[in-house]
Structure formats: structure tokens, C-alpha cells
A and B are shown apart, each in its own frame.
Chain A
Amino acid sequence: MNLSQLKPGSKSRILKIGSVGPLKRRLMDMGVLVGEEIIVEKIAPMGDPIEIKIKNYKLSLRKKEAAEIEVEECV
């Protein structure tokens, strides 16, 4: 399962970050790391991008970018 498939309100943990290069580096710099917990907060009115909460702050990213983040849902 990847992050772009999750609904607002769902909580998950990062398993793997698929991409390499600038996207991965940027995600790392923003604290999106393996093992980190993510809450999907909102989806933009037009359906893309999405807003997540990670490390207690809010981050937005496009679904295409979120699709590179493999997660498992947790309760």
C-alpha cells in the first residue's frame, strides 16, 4: 500500500521510500523517513495534493510523490 491510497484520518507507518534522487532526498530532509508515523489530514479540493502530518508538523505533497512512499496502516 502506498501513501496516496489512504483516506483522510488514517494513520500509517512508513515502510519504504521507493524513489531515488531529488525526491527521496527532499523527503528525507523533511523528516519523511522509514519507521515514521504519518496521519493523512486532508485532500485538496481538486483531489490533489494531499496534506499529511508527520513529526508533528504539516506537509503537503502531490499524490504522485506520495505514491513513492510505501506504508502500512496502523491503528
Chain B
Amino acid sequence: MIDLEIKNSKKQLTVAVAGNPNSGKSTLINAIAGTRLQVGNWSGVTVEKKEASFKHGNLNIRIVDLPGTYSLSPYSQEEVIARNYLINMKPDLIVNVVDATNLERNLYLTVQLLELGIPLLMALNIYDESEKKGYKINVRKIEEMLRIKVVPTIATQKSGLENLLLEIESFASKPKNEILPMLHYNNDLDNSIKNVVEEIKPAYEYLNENKLRWLAIKIIEGDELVLKEFGIKNRNELINQFCGHLIKGHDSDLESLIADARYGIATGLSHEVLEKPKIQKEEITEKIDRIVLNRYLGIPIFLLAMWLMFKLTFDIANPFVDLIDGITAGPMNRWFAFLLASINSPAWFISLVTDGIIAGVGFVLVFVPVIFAMMFFITFLEGSGYMARAAFVMDKAMHGIGLHGKSFIPLLLGFGCNVPSIYATRTLENEKDKILTSLIVPFMSCGARLPVYVIFSSAFFPGNGGFILWLLYVIGIGVAVVSGLIFKKTLFKGENSLFIMELPPYRMPTMKSLMIHTWEKGKHFLVKAGTYILAVSIFIWFLLNLPWGVENKKDSFLGIAGQVAAPVLEPIGFGNWEAASALITGVIAKEIVVGTMAEIYVDNLDEPEKEELSFGNDIKEIGIGFYDAVKSAGINISSTFSIATITAEEDSGLSTLKGVIQTKFTPLAAISFMIFVLLYMPCIITGVAYKQEFGTWKWYGISLINGFGAAWILSLIVYQGGLLLGFGG
């Protein structure tokens, strides 16, 4: 009972953390909440939501990280989310993280937060750097002038956080619903605000003085969202009646008048409280930028940085991929098979478990290292400040096809694996840029497509493999450019994104912050994507093995589906059910296309395990082929451009496959087939990534249609054109 009472006496406190991007919000929250932090998305949108609940003293504190914003005007998705949360969810307290090295611009947001009438506590962060610059900030004076509490913090060193928590505690013991002191702009504006408040008061009795004043400011500003929400239809009359004198003086633009007034406070305050040294040293950021953004060096340095990131991402992930793959493919598989056999499970069930379920699990797991490594580097690039520079350097080229400078990085990662690329689009701020980039990513030829190219080009064009490969990558990029232009002119017509972006000072992200972010992302993928991939893996197993006891692969559901689909592929040179079935299984990963082909075309693959464990039958044979394919898909994700390893992997089964392919395809059809595989669809895991990032399957659907259309048309042109030119033989 006593315990219960103590629990009940705990006060619930919701704290919203708001601040400019790069003010150290993430670092601060990670330092306070650590692993208690939960990363998700704001409902229905692609913006990341972080929150944590924990006990402190006799408080239950819930911290919610709002998206980083410069303002609360409804310019971007982030700002709309932040303001909706603040207005609708009514947190008890706002912790405003302010970058002490950039006081004036940060205070502009502070002014807007104070207008809301929610109690505010300021964390004056990055205090170390501001001291190092020789800035003298009069903290007491900020407290006096804004009538709030201010705590200097250094999030990276965890300094000041105890004080911050103390202030939160002492806030919690104060009575709620106090009327807070209000800021004053200038006499003219203040008078108008007061008049508007008097006028609207009767209609909004339930609002306290703070809220009324906020609403009046919003009415004068002409904030459409707020006007709509409060059902205010007589703005024009109110303006004419009370703000006539303001309009005259200010080009009738009240929005910028209010902005000026807010900046008036921010600028005035920063002049009052901030003392800068007479002579300012040249900063590290300036020095680095002189090289990194240099006219001649800028692009080479950027490309080098990208190459490094790409290489590190996939090199670091590689051994883990092998390890995970080794475990699921070897011991785990055998163990389950043995276990199930020992309890007399039927062969089909063993096959389902090992080839459907375990293979599926293994397939999910091999992605995890890549996702982890990629998230780590992306987070590093963002936190360090280089991401903005990369966008600055590349924007011109990317803008040409309707993209943003930051689109380059996801696209580049796409050459390794499309899945992390889709996640990487979250570095883009604008929804349209994110979606457009994601739609183009699948045309970046990923590692899983290589095995298909390798088999076909070595079967038909030995000695010219390099050239064919180069050609396919170029075709992919070309289709990406064309698709981008088409999407820009159709789906995203008239939507013009802006490139007004801060170039933040270079800073070192903390390891802890990087780790937490990476871990959360990896976990998220594992749980969410895992379920889907497993389901698809099992589904494909059934396609291969139904109807029950099917002997001839042609009669399995997969074979039947292949036969149905074959006519569609006729005009592009490979209208047979074998090719069609193989393409269907490629939904899991394109590399599986080779596995399925081997399974269908080559009947007697060597199978050491078969004799040993002796529950081999046709079904199992198919299953093992499928499983092998899943396995090498995982390997190839990490082998990126190194064709050598793949050729080395070729076993006798695959060289037999090459022989069979030579009889089934003409060289022209082989080229057409490779182009088709390059473009025809993003794999299901990419689809899951779309779903996770955008909250809907819609964009995967569009991507499928776009990919299939592009693949079919291009293959048709190549194949039919080739026939016309007499390359049919």
C-alpha cells in the first residue's frame, strides 16, 4: 500500500525539447535519457520522433524531442509538427536548447516559443565553444530580461545537465496555470495587440491571457493554420480596425512586421547580454571550408569522402554479413534439420523451416550490419556539419534533375544496396525531395544484381564483361535521370523546394550519440522489416512447393505464375516460363533470380548435405537452391563492385547453368534480360523501407510500376531494335 501511495504521489511532467537544428538537441537528449530513448516517427510523417520516460526524484518525466526548427511559422513539415505538438498537446514545460555561439538567430525561436504562453526553461548549450571564442554571455541578464530560467550546458561533456534537471524539478513544484510574463515588442504593435485581445476576448473566454495574446499576434501575422483552427473569419476587419497605422508604415506586410518585431527583441537582447572580443580569431570552420569548399578541390574532396564512406560502410558490414550468413546457413540450418528429423517431422516441414523460415531470418539479419554501418556514417556526416557542405557542392548537378544537393548520398549508397539508401533519404528536409530521391534510388544498380550480370555476360560476352557491366550502370543512371525529370514534371509538378540551408560550424559528434542513433535505427529495421521479409520468404517457399507434392517445377504455383507471365516477356526476348518464374522470385532480391534459374534449368546440382542427412527429394532440392541464392545475395550486398569474389564463388552447378543459358537465350535476349533485371523492380525489402519511411505502400507501388514500365520499354527497344538491325542470331 505504501508503495502504491508513493507511486501515486509522483508527479507526471511532460517536457518538450525545442531548438534550432544543430543546437545540440539530440546530444542533450541522448545525454539525459541515454538508452531509454525511443526513436519512432511522428504519426503519418517521415520526421523522426524521439522520446523517453524516466523517473527523477519524485517526478515521472516524459521528454519529447521536437524536430529542429528555426521558427514556428508553417514553412516546413518540421515546423508544423513542432507547433502542432506545442499547441495541441500542451506540454508542461519547454526546454529551449539554444546555441550559445549563435545567440541572435536562436533567440528568434525563443521569442516565438515564449509567445505560446508555455513555461520555458533555456538550456544555453555549446557553452564551451562560445567561451573558447571569447564570448562573454551575461546569463543573469537573459533571465532578467526574458523572465525565465537559463542554464548553461555542454551536452557533449554532460555538463550542466544536473542543473537543468534541478530546474525542471523546481519548476514542477510550482503551481500550474500561472500567468506568465509577456514580451513587449514596440508601443505601436503592443497597442494593436492589446486592442485585438479586447475584441476577441468575449468569443474565447476559455483562453487565458497568455493564449489570447498569442492568438492576437497570430491574427495580426495572418497565420492561416491558426485562423482556420480558431474559426476566425473577420481578420480583415480586425486589421483595418486596429492595425491601420501599422500597415501604412510597413508596406502592408504584417507578417514581416511581426518578424521584425521578434528579431528586434532577439537582436536587442543579444546586444545587451553578449560581449564579443574585439579581434576574432579565424575559426577552424573557416579554415576547413577554405579547402573543402574550394573551387577546384571541393568536388574531388567530396568524391573522396563519398568513396571512403561507401567503402567503409560495406567493408565494415562485410565480415558481419559473412558471420551471420555462416551461422544461419551452416549450423543453425543443419541443427534445425537434424532436430526436426529426429522427432520424425515430415520432409516438407523440415524444408519449410530451414529453407523458408531460417533462410528468411538469415536474409533479414544480413541486412542489419549494412544498415548499422550506414546509419553510423550518415549520422556522423550530419552531426559533424559536412552533410550541408556535401549538399552545397553537389546541388547544382542534382537540382538539374529536380533533386536536392543532399540527394546525392542516398543515390550513391544505392549502388551498394537500395535498402539503406531509402533510409538515408531522411537527411533531406523536404518531403518532396525525400520521395523523389527514393523513387530514383532503385535504378542505382545494387550489389545483388551483379551475380545476374556476371552469369549472363560471362556466358555470352566473355572478355567483355567489364564493358557490359559499365554499360548497365550507365543505363541505370540514365533511366534515373529521365525518371527524375518525368516525376518532376508530373507527380511533383509546381512544387519547388528551396535550398536555404545553414552551413553549421564543424563539430565532433559524440560516440554515444552516434551509437544510440545507429542502434535505434538497426533495431527498428530488424523488428519491422523482419516480419515482412519472413512472410515473403515463406510465401515464396509455398509458391515453389504447392500444389502438394508437385514433381515437375513447371506445375508448381511458381511455374504456373511463370507461364502466365511469360507472354508479356515474349516481345522482349525471353518469353519462357523459366525466365518468368526466376524473375518472380527476384522480388526478394534480384540475386535470387540466378538461384531459381539454376534450380529450374539444372536438375542435378551437387548436394553434399543430401546424402548425409538423406531426406532429399525434389522439394528439398528446390529449397536448397533457393536457400543458396538467398545466401549469396547476402554476400553480394557487401561485395559491391568486386566481381572477382563472385566469379570465384561460381561452383560447378553455376557453370552448368551457364551452358544451359547459352542454349536458352540469344546474346541479344541476354542483353535484354540483363537490362530488365537492372530495372524491373525494387526488391521487397526496399519496399518495406519505403513503407517505413513514408508510412504507406503507395510509393513502392509507384516505384514498381515505374520500374517495370522502364524495364519493359527499354528491353523492348533494345531487343526489337537489335532484331531489326540483324543481331537476332
Contact = CB atoms under 8 A, between A and B. Distances in A.
B184 to A, nearest CB: 20
B393 to A, nearest CB: 6
Interface string A37-56: 00000111111110100011
Interface in B263-313: 263, 289, 293-296, 298-299
Given A55-B104, A57-B102, A59-B501, A25 B399 contact: no
A68 to B, nearest CB: 11
Contact of A28 (B256, B395, B397): B256
B655 interface: no
Given A25-B75, A55-B104, A31 B498 contact: no
A31 B105 contact: yes
B41 interface: no
A29 B498 contact: no
Which among A29, A43, A48, A56 has the greatest number of chain B C-beta atoms within 10 A?
A29
Given A45-B295, A46-B396, A61 B499 contact: yes
11 contacts: A28-B73, A28-B256, A29-B259, A31-B105, A34-B256, A42-B289, A44-B393, A45-B295, A45-B298, A45-B393, A62-B499
B500 A44 contact: no
Contacts of A26: 75, 498, 500
Contacts of A24: 256
A22 B108 contact: no
B340 interface: no
A46 B398 CA distance: 11
Interface of A: 17, 22-31, 33-34, 42-49, 51, 55-62, 65
A60 B405 CA distance: 12
Nearest to A23: B498
A59 B21 CA distance: 13
B327 interface: no
A67 to B, nearest CB: 13
Interface of B: 70-71, 73, 75, 102, 104-105, 108, 255-256, 259-260, 263, 289, 293-296, 298-299, 388, 392-393, 395-397, 399, 405, 498-504
Most central of B388, B405, B503 by chain A CB within 10 Å = B503
A49 B497 CA distance: 14
A51 B293 contact: yes
A45 B394 CA distance: 9
B104 A62 contact: no
B131 to A, nearest CB: 16
Contacts of A25: 73, 75, 255
Contacts of B289: 42
A27 B405 CA distance: 19
A60 B388 contact: yes
B113 to A, nearest CB: 14
B498 A57 contact: no
A29 B71 contact: yes
A56 B75 contact: no
B392 A49 contact: yes
B499 to A, nearest CB: 5
Contacts of B395: 44, 46, 48-49, 62
B51 to A, nearest CB: 25
Given A27-B500, A45-B299, A48-B399, 7 more contacts: A30-B70, A44-B396, A56-B102, A58-B504, A59-B503, A60-B501, A61-B501
Nearest to A62: B499
Contact of A56 (B104, B255, B399, B500): B104
Given A29-B75, A30-B70, A57 B105 contact: yes
Contacts of B502: 30, 57-60
A4 to B, nearest CB: 13
Contacts of A17: 256
Contacts of A30: 70, 105, 500, 502
Contacts of B71: 28-29
A48 B498 contact: no
Pick from A17, A27, A33, A44 the residue with the most CB of B within 10 Å. Answer: A44
Contact of A46 (B73, B263, B397, B499): B397
Contacts of A60: 388, 392, 499-503
Given A28-B256, A42-B289, A65 B396 contact: no
A49 B105 contact: no
Contacts of B500: 23, 26-27, 30, 59-61, 65
A27 B498 CA distance: 10
Nearest to B280: A56
Given A22-B75, A28-B256, A55 B105 contact: yes
A45 B498 contact: no
A24 B256 CA distance: 9
A60 B503 CA distance: 7
B495 to A, nearest CB: 10
A48 B255 contact: no
B396 A49 contact: yes
A29 B108 contact: yes
Nearest to B289: A42
A49 B499 contact: yes
A23 B498 CA distance: 7
Nearest to B388: A60
A59 B503 CA distance: 6
Contacts of A34: 256, 260
Contacts of B392: 44, 49, 51, 60
A31 B73 contact: no
A57 B23 CA distance: 13
